[in-house]
Amino acid sequence: MAILVTGGLGYIGSHTVVELINNNFEVVIVDDLSNSEKFILNNIEEITGKRPIFYPFDLKRKELLNQVFDAHNIEGCINFAAFKAVGESQEKPVDYYENNLFSLINILQEFKARKISNFIFSSSCTVYGQADEMPIDENTPLKMPESVYGKTKQMGEEILKDFAQAYQSKICLLRYFNPIGAHPSSLLGELPIGVPNNLVPYVMQTAAGIREKLSVWGNDYPTEDGTAVRDYIYVVDLAKAHVAALKSLINKNTEETVIDIYNLGTGKGSSVLEVVQAFESANNVAVPYKICDRREGDITIAYANADKAEKELKWKSETSLEEALKTVWEWQKYLESRKN
Ligand code: NAD
Ligand code: WQD
């Protein structure tokens, strides 16, 4: 039996593949390398001593996906593959809807035809928009996200709920808060292709001198230091949550519909300036920054109540912000060493 991991060479996917292998799962990766690189496969092998099966193709190619399901006894899927740049999604809405939703639907067609269950979906805290109360638990009302990217996540969730209901299938929606950090081996991390949109990769590149200054988007928010607050979760902790969620789904040996939903965060909010300071003190480097206007579409504050995952999956975030930010700096050094 094998687990299909789509987007398994990407940032969160590659860390999860390592944890799956460590837990003796057989992994089959499909990734078209649209936002990742092939060397990550070698690095997964270096960390785990096992090379996962890898198919480099676009999930929109139904006929190739069909062959993967013919070739392997797939008992579940973790679907990471998606385009994820919020700004770009506004410029290329059709491409985002096509990539993120057609990929999902193509996998579900295979699941339906072969009566496979156990589907885990990478969702996002973006489905809550600016929640009225903190922390955000799974019963917090959803708001239609402003970005096309966010809409693909909310639509993906709806498609999966309908799928589970119609075919008595077992699905799990994992709503990540803000994943950060790299593998302790420094062999896996977030590959910043082009100018980073997200805070931590930008901080990393500023500290390394690749970017001159970090732009802090707004210091007039109604928060303690005026900068926006998020819940930064260490990627290896996040990866472990996927293994826990998968085992839980598989163990629910039922013919009935299962729709599990979990928030994955630390439960603690950190402001932009707190992240900058934590990076500086963890790594003993300077991160020059300037205060700029707010970024359009940004919310003020979001942090999770992750008690449900702790209670039901026996999972909780274990790594501090400083520890996670240390791994980011080690990853930057590794990326530099690869250039030489
Ligand atoms: P990533 O871009 O690093 O990984 C996604 C991988 O999927 C890439 O390797 C890419 O090449 C691949 N891919 C994309 N479209 C594909 C297609 N059509 N066929 C085959 N492969 C395809 O992103 P990530 O940060 O690892 O995110 C993984 C998932 O988690 C995504 O669904 C993302 O939306 C979601 N998510 C990410 C964050 C975050 O901040 N990183 C937060 C919440 C949710
Ligand atoms: C964090 C904070 C910025 C960059 C996005 C997606 C969301 C989810 C996670 C996938 C904000 C500030 C950032 C910079 C800054 N992804 N910032 N200068 O906006 O919480 O969420 O990624 O699902 O859907 O919207 O994360 O890392 O972009 O920003 O001041 O150069 O850092 O304003 O307050 P965000 P982020």
Tens of pLDDT, residues 182-239: 999 999 999 978 899 999 999 999 999 999 999 999 999 999 999 999 999 999 999 9
**Does the structure show a pLDDT above 90 at 83?**
yes
Among 272, 291, 301, residue to substitute to test ligand 2 (most atoms within 8 Å of Cβ): 272
Which pLDDT does position 192 carry in this prediction?
79
Contact between 52 and 43 under an 8 Å Cβ cutoff? The reply is: no
Residue 262 annotated as catalytic: no
16 CB less than 6 Å from ligand 2? no
Binning pLDDT at 50, 70 and 90, where does residue 339 land? confident
Residue 75 has pLDDT above 90, yes or no: yes
Q: For residue 340, what pLDDT band results from cuts at 50, 70 and 90?
A: confident
Query: Residue 240 CA to chain centroid, in angstroms?
Result: 12
- What is the pTM assigned to this prediction? 0.98
Of all ligands present, the nearest one to the C-alpha of 191 is 1
Ligand 2 close to Cβ of residue 178 (< 6 A):
yes
The closest of 116, 54, 106, 66 to 82, measured between CA atoms, is 106
Ligand 1 binding site (Cβ under 6 Å of any ligand atom): 6-7, 9-13, 30-36, 58-60, 80-84, 99, 103, 122, 124, 176, 178-179
In the chain, where do the E strands start and end? 2-6, 26-30, 53-55, 74-79, 119-124, 170-176, 178-180, 214-217, 229-230, 232-234, 258-264, 270-271, 289-292
